[in-house]
Amino acid sequence: MKQFDFARHWGKRIRPLLEKPAIVTALNLGMMLQGDDYEPGNPPWLHGRGPLNGQRAKEGCLSWYQPWGRCHYIAPFSWAIGKELFPGLNWGFITSDRHTVAIGFQDDWRYPQLVFDILLFRNQSASESVAFAQDHGWKFYRSLAKYAASFYFDPEEAEAMMLRTLADRHPSLFKQQ
């Protein structure tokens, strides 16, 4: 299991993906799950605790996409980047009340090959990020629709709504694995 290094790959591998519709959709969907005043195009970092702690960010840079304390909402963005960079893997989410990470795996999600933790990758190993996410009643979600639906009172209806409204525009995000 390996922790993906966002900083190392930002310029050459990730930055060219930032305008892809599937990446933008995953970013916006995830950030809107927070339920605050996030709107598409808002700087994600401003919706975390960073501004309170003196964080500064530059548009297009990694820091712009690091809303500290909002791992649950930026995880879909990390997941979409993982799917784009490593399409041969299956992708899902490990989440708890404390933390969320996107994982890439071959056949069994319990043995991830890659961990995409855009907030803690510098300070935690892949195993540490997964262990942090597997604390306090954790769950695994195999799809973006199931993960996002888990934020709603009726997750099954929310998943069906997402599949009806978004799957036709971005099928790669919502195909069942």
- Tens of pLDDT, residue by residue, the chain (177 residues): 999 999 999 999 999 999 999 999 999 999 988 877 888 889 999 888 877 777 888 999 999 999 999 999 999 999 999 999 999 999 999 999 999 999 999 999 999 999 999 999 999 999 999 999 998 889 999 999 889 888 877 777 777 766 666 666 666 666 655
What are the φ/ψ torsions at residue 103 (nearest 5 degrees)?
Answer: -130, 145
pTM: 0.88
